[in-house]
Amino acid sequence: MARLLRRAADWYLRRPLARAIVSGLPWVGPSAHEYLSAVAQQSSPDSGRLDFRAAADSCARVDALILRAIRDHHYLSFDEINEEYRALVAQQFSDSGRTIDSFLRQLQETTDQQRLLSTLPKPTLKIRVEKDFRSVSFFTEDSALRLSVPKLLWDCVCKTPEPPEWTANATARLSPACPIHGHPLGALVDKLFASGLVAIRYGSIEVLYRDMAEFWPPAIDSFHLVDTLRKQRVFDEPYSSVLDIGCGTGFLGIVTACECRNLCLVTMADWLLTPILFSVVNWARNSAVRPGISLRLRLGLNSNWITDDRASLPHDLVLCNPPYLPLPDEFRKIGLSSTVAGTELLQHVIQESPRLGKAVYVSFSELAQVEAGQAAKVAGRKLVRLGEPLHSPFRVTHVFDNREYLRFLIEERGLQVRMDSPHRLWHKVSVYKVE
Ligand SMILES: C[S@@+](CC[C@H](N)C(=O)[O-])C[C@H]1O[C@@H](n2cnc3c(N)ncnc32)[C@H](O)[C@@H]1O
């Protein structure tokens, strides 16, 4: 993979369009350009072995490159962006005489999954989430930090920005008000969360995660989505196939496989490689709780998968917990730093719902209500809210230093300010059925 990455950078340097775009943008150009140039000059042999640590590191490097290169292209049409994305991904694989198709097929093979599992490092931190979010416990090797009725999976208030200036509260690190850092074990748990493999247990399933900008753990909105679907008896329907689109750790697909009795096929799709790799590992690690169900993997922007199988659509059930941070043109730069920014996937799933699935459920924040509403209107769809909204702290730390963006969210998108909570910023997240 390292060699593939290097070839991808070679490709980049030979592509005038990509080069012009990356190096021509003042806010990102020089650093992305230098990064890609540096990668192009590295020479490290590709071992060709499916070892978890090597695969995870390579996927992370490729994802960082894809995230920046593709999010830079916002002023191109979707078809042009998609073409660049596909060319970039294809180049990663071509030199090893492989295709993304063969790579995904290999990941779907049980023997290769077992090989990945046999090379897994031990998780350095275990997290247990109780049903209905009654508590979250963090287990280190020999001790535990338990939070009752936490507001978030990572219920830290240290970086909360403060009005009137809305800048991040940098001096409050290890604040006594912080449920995590106010605890004697907080600093250790923080270090373990940020540096190693983290195992997150919810009921009978456990998913692995590692902290990075291109990857997202099952967060409070993922648990709220699952709890809502369960309460609405969605999992009691005789669905035989599910599409988990924007799969992250594969959490939603794995939960559905455990809950839906008639399920035969789970498709997990994402636009980055790390989520695909972790979804496979998590699927294999949870094999005992969902025997006899096949896994299929898809890589691509929205549902424009590189391995084209439109014939397999629509699925019986589609679940999506997409990014929900709106990115008007003046704030586009925010999309470069994390996979959770932007509303493209949310809008795509709403607009394309009849093609994707017979029953389509999506979870999103009221911050993206404008974009979701526009997508529904364009496609003539209706968004029917299920259950109660989740009132949740807004803790997307990479935007906490951008006071103009926070003001935009507060003044135009309904981000709530609460001075009675150490989490100053709150929003509402709801689950919708697209009809
Ligand atoms: C908020 S995370 C949710 C992860 C997981 N479904 C969960 O609930 O824990 C959103 C996921 O969507 C993926 N994603 C974002 N934009 C996408 C796009 N345009 N096409 C496909 N996947 C996308 C991200 O890589 C990320 O894994």
**How many angstroms separate the alpha carbon of residue 419 from the centre of ligand 1?**
31
pLDDT of the chain, 435 residues: tens digit per residue: 445 555 555 555 445 445 444 443 333 333 444 444 433 333 232 334 578 988 898 888 888 888 877 776 666 788 888 888 888 888 877 766 778 888 888 888 888 888 899 999 999 999 999 988 899 999 999 999 999 999 999 999 888 888 877 766 555 555 668 899 999 999 999 999 998 899 999 999 999 999 988 899 999 999 999 999 999 999 999 999 999 999 999 999 999 999 999 999 999 999 999 999 999 999 999 988 778 899 999 999 999 998 766 667 799 999 999 999 998 888 877 776 666 788 999 999 999 999 999 999 999 999 999 999 999 999 999 999 999 999 999 998 888 888 899 999 999 999 999 988 889 999 999 999 999
**How many angstroms separate the alpha carbon of residue 320 from the centre of ligand 1?**
8
Question: Helix or strand or coil: residue 367?
Answer: helix
CA distance 247 to 279: 7
**How many angstroms separate the alpha carbon of residue 240 from the centre of ligand 1?**
23
**pTM for this entry:** 0.87
Q: For residue 301, which atom of ligand 1 is closest to its CA?
A: 20
Q: Which protein residues touch ligand 1 with a CB less than 6 Å away? A: 216, 218, 222, 246-249, 251-252, 270-272, 275, 301-302, 321-323, 339-340, 344-345
Q: For residue 275, which atom of ligand 1 is closest to its CA?
A: 27
| Rg of the chain, C-alpha, whole Å | 21
Question: Helix or strand or coil: residue 178?
Answer: coil
User: For helices 16-24 and 52-71, what crossing angle results, to 10°?
Assistant: 80
Q: Find out if CATH 3.20.19.10 is the number for domain 127-434.
A: no
Residue in 71, 205, 227, 271 to alter for ligand 1 test, most ligand atoms within 8 A of Cβ: 271
Within a 10 A sphere around the Cβ of 62, how many other Cβ atoms?
24
Residues of the chain with CATH 3.40.50.150: 127-434
Burial of 287 (0-12, 13-18, 19+ CB in 10 A): middle
Tokens (6 digits) for 427: 């929003």
**How many angstroms separate the alpha carbon of residue 302 from the centre of ligand 1?**
9
- Choose among 314, 313, 318, 302: nearest CA to 361: 318
Going by CA atoms, what residue is nearest to atom 12 of ligand 1? 246
CA distance 85 to 304: 11
Q: Using alpha carbons only, what angle is made at residue 218 by residues 217 and 220, rounded to the nearest 5 degrees? A: 120
Q: For residue 348, which atom of ligand 1 is closest to its CA?
A: 19
